[in-house]
Structure 1
């Protein structure tokens, strides 16, 4: 499954980004049994958790989350990074109620002259150009954001089916319909959603062809919003998570406790023995262990001078997208990803 290369790629990418609306990497290290990545603490839970609890979000909540996530996406796209797995589960709130992008497991750098072709993401939020396998760039993240807005406003996703084939057909061909909710929803909110969930990439809101982030911010749904205050993460949050209760499902943590006597207890590092070259070919497991040892080194964000003009972005690699070249690979990371039977996670 090439999991080692994938986690190295995720960590390397996180080292290169820092933004108010991203769960930033702060430290990385390893012991003899685990790799650790320490990211910003988010006590507010993810949007999926709150959506399941509330049913639908208020208009003010949707406005702020859309504004903040669009800032995070614009930042990533300016660095030629596409997230590819945007969904409520991957948007976390801090203790003050501000939204942050997380889970960069299948995020990847892209080149303007070389479209991505891998089918990667969570199917219910995939853009048509991903499913068609004709190549795509950062436009796919804006489609996903539109699907999220619809779901937060209506309480269900715009495209649903009982099979992956049916869901693919719905995403590729069905018209967007707000159903009975259309009578009560803000017309500007529905227009914004329609402009994101637009099959014509050249007209999709947020894309460079459609005027980019400037056109997005000028949409009537954001009328009166001070974007400078938004970018500084100072805009008043209409919803502040309850700090006296857990804003997450404790089931996962309970499973961890049952499976591990001392979860996340760091084990002391043992002195590594030099590999013996006996002429035998290196086993896949030994190779992966060597790669982790050599490339998953200690990282401390406080020792990185991002203001140093000599510190430049790492050049893009021809092999950064580990999924490229595969015929059909679908990443489905949880039960909410599709109403259809989930495809195998890769």
Structure 2
């Protein structure tokens, strides 16, 4: 379905929805949908994620929408779904992102079962490259899972959905609980304070699930799952050789080390990514060629087929919800008369155009308030036990993941969340086992 506008478009002015032709819906999130769009001048295809302002305000999610918008402006990496444009109209905020036509890994897991080690190995290398980049940008994703890993048309893996991502500091440990429980690192659930190594744990859970078509730690309720992640040892399948090689097993086990100081890729700032590059599982990988997408994936999705739930457009066809249309903004809105949340969106969800604007960092300045010995190198570092720049628990207990970039499952896996896992009144997340 396409919606076109016949009025002339001012391509020299600020980017807005009139710069794009709207095509089919390919995903659905908490506050809107994701659809394919075509830039009218360049003819490039992108994914448009749009956020309904009223729904966003009702669910008290303005702060993390603004935070996602700012974090995405900082990021530009071959294995991340990158932001290309950002803008808003009176009803919606818009993210225009790289288009991923290959679907997400949850989609392929559900249709193929476990995936061949050859495929998983390359994706693991690509995701490792992306996570190391995020670490250097001082960003923790906090919600790495198959649903948030998208394939492009050639089969390369990309991280998406920065809905609960945050900055970190060497002087600060975070304590808020955010993400999807089955993929959370032990230090998050134990409330010990955490930083970037939690993403490498999540990568370990993802790789385990891709290789064995199940998760390493499961439970029928949140309490049992928490205890499993904190206390249970890894139990590989008895017929392991039928699933993967010994080097793959060693790599995944290294990521699923409960002590973040000993976790593969996190053992110190002096080794870090070198441990990943030198691991026997990645023998023969040219990392320069990898980052240039010069290594051909073994799994290439069939982009002639829909690698997503094809029902996303039915709501509009059945008039269940209002379809997205081009609309002119009110001229010179009076910010003083706006509700605080709308004003925050107006002022902080700013326009971005990758063809004209340089990417900038919003990295916060942190004030030290205490000290702790956090690193294995035995130096004393200053730490702030922080809940700033994080998503705090709300009465709804749940922050639905946004579907940035490409087709994603709708209600098939655990949504992203920020909650108190020990408060039963706040635990309304559906477990996916």
The reply on whether 1:205 has 2:267 as its aligned counterpart is no
After superposition, the C-alpha distances for 1:178-235 in whole angstroms (9 at most, x for unaligned) are 2234142211111111000010111101115282111111111111111111111111
Please state how far the C-alpha of 1:60 moved relative to its aligned partner. Answer: 1.1
Determine if contact 1:46/1:89 at 8 Å carries over to the other structure. Answer: yes
After superposition, the C-alpha distances for 1:244-288 in whole angstroms (9 at most, x for unaligned) are 1001112334335545565222221122443677xxxx7xxx111
Determine if contact 1:32/1:270 at 8 Å carries over to the other structure. Answer: yes
Tell me the distance in 2 between the aligned counterparts of 1:241 and 1:275. Answer: 47
Question: Which of 246, 270, 276 is residue 187 of structure 1 equivalent to?
Answer: 246
Tell me the distance in 2 between the aligned counterparts of 1:276 and 1:224. Answer: 61
Tell me the distance in 2 between the aligned counterparts of 1:137 and 1:330. Answer: 22
The reply on whether 1:46 has 2:104 as its aligned counterpart is yes
Question: Which of 192, 195, 204 is residue 146 of structure 1 equivalent to?
Answer: 204
Please state how far the C-alpha of 1:289 moved relative to its aligned partner. Answer: 1.1
Determine if contact 1:119/1:330 at 8 Å carries over to the other structure. Answer: no
The reply on whether 1:266 has 2:326 as its aligned counterpart is yes
Determine if contact 2:208/2:214 at 8 Å carries over to the other structure. Answer: yes
Question: Which of 294, 299, 317 is residue 239 of structure 1 equivalent to?
Answer: 299
Q: Cα 1:158–1:332, aligned 2, differ >3 Å: closer, same or farther?
A: farther
Determine if contact 1:6/1:105 at 8 Å carries over to the other structure. Answer: yes
Determine if contact 1:91/1:99 at 8 Å carries over to the other structure. Answer: yes
Question: Which of 99, 119, 125 is residue 157 of structure 2 equivalent to?
Answer: 99
Count of residue pairs the alignment pairs up: 332
Tell me the distance in 2 between the aligned counterparts of 1:132 and 1:112. Answer: 20
Secondary structure in 2 matching 1:12: helix
The reply on whether 1:314 has 2:362 as its aligned counterpart is yes
Q: Any residues of structure 2 matched to 1:1-346 within 5 Å, and which?
A: 1-184=59-242, 185-209=244-268, 211-255=271-315, 257-258=317-318, 263-274=323-334, 286-305=339-358, 313-318=361-366, 321-323=389-391, 333=401, 334-337=411-414, 343-344=427-428
Aligned-residue Cα RMSD (Å) equals 2.6
Determine if contact 2:70/2:362 at 8 Å carries over to the other structure. Answer: no
TM (norm. structure 2) is 0.71
Tell me the distance in 2 between the aligned counterparts of 1:109 and 1:224. Answer: 33
Q: Cα 1:234–1:257, aligned 2, differ >3 Å: closer, same or farther?
A: farther
5+ residue gaps, structure 2, are 1-58, 367-386, 402-410, 416-420
Higher strand share: 2
Determine if contact 1:116/1:324 at 8 Å carries over to the other structure. Answer: no
TM (norm. structure 1) is 0.88
Tell me the distance in 1 between the aligned counterparts of 2:177 and 2:169. Answer: 17
Q: Cα 1:343–1:259, aligned 2, differ >3 Å: closer, same or farther?
A: farther
Tell me the distance in 2 between the aligned counterparts of 1:92 and 1:316. Answer: 29
Secondary structure in 2 matching 1:38: strand
